[in-house]
Amino acid sequence: MLAGDGKVLVKMASQVDMGSSTDAEVMARLVGGDDQALAEVYRRHGARVFSVAKAAVRDRAAAEDVTQDVFVQLARQPHKFDGGRGSLGAYLAVVAHGRALDRLRAEQARARREEHQARLAPSTSESADEKAVASSMGARLWAAVGALPGPEAEALRLAYFGGSTYREVAAILDVAEGTIKSRIRSGLKRLRSACIEQGVLTST
């Protein structure tokens, strides 16, 4: 099976013609062990997966890593896609979003470790103290977002941490734009209350 390298996938996709096949037919070939089917899936949906990943992690290199992870997972476990529950594009977008959030959580954990180490080490400058405070506040804010109801947290992460527009968030999550706006408004109210309680924000 392919290692997931995007350039290899693109090259392979140019060597096979599955343009008239449906996504379901291409996935059936992938389940059957056809590596070229994976290349075709990448050709059709690679750009969307990368876009979703980049909107969340806001870094091209990290988004490329997430994209590769998504297609490696698809190659290893193609049977996890259930065409009866939605389109292949939507499935891959959700997987990409999840992978991107995992990466952000890992970064959050790293920031907490660095904050802990900074507290243990002697303070050498005001700048170092300010960085430690900022890291602490960022970790608490992220935790507060994670405590929100799932749909609200998901929308806020994409819109404010991922930098996506309301329309982009609606497209990624396959939800009406008005619903996304409502979730974000509600989520921001809950988030403000939680931050005030935790001392991240003041009530004034």
Closest CA to 117 of 136, 104, 100, 98: 136
Q: What residues does CATH 1.10.10.10 cover in the chain?
A: 122-204
CB atoms inside a 10 Å sphere around CB 129: 12
Q: How many CB atoms lie within 10 A of CB 32?
A: 9
* 78, two tokens: 């193609």
Q: Which two tokens mark 109?
A: 């954990």
Q: Which CATH number fits domain 122-204: 1.10.10.10, 1.10.630.10, 3.30.565.10, 3.40.50.300?
A: 1.10.10.10
Tell me the pLDDT tens digit for each residue of 67-94. Answer: 999 999 999 999 999 888 889 999 999 9
Structure tokens at 144: 């507060």
Does the predicted model carry a pTM greater than 0.85? no
Between 203 and 77, name the one with better pLDDT: 77
- The ranges of the chain annotated as CATH 1.10.1740.10 are 1-121
Whole-number Å distance between alpha carbons of 52 and 171: 10
CATH 1.25.40.320 fits 1-121, yes or no: no
The single-letter DSSP state of residue 195 is H
Distance CA 202, CA 198 (A): 9
197, two tokens? 């309680």
Task: Return the pLDDT at 73.
Answer: 93
pLDDT score recorded for residue 2: 41
Q: What is the mean pLDDT of the chain?
A: 78
Q: What is the DSSP letter of 33?
A: T
* Top-confidence residue, 63 or 134: 63
**CB of 35 within 8 A of CB of 1?**
yes
Residue the block writes with tokens 């992978």: 99
Instruction: Specify the residue for token string 């290349």.
Output: 39
Q: Per residue in 30-53, pLDDT tens?
A: 999 888 999 999 999 999 999 999
Return the pLDDT at 138: 60
pLDDT in tens, 132-178: 444 555 666 767 777 788 888 888 877 776 667 888 888 887 889 89
Distance, CA of 142 to CA of 152 (rounded, Å): 13
Tell me, what's the pLDDT at 6? Answer: 52
Place of tokens 């994670």: 146
pLDDT at residue 133, rounded to an integer: 47
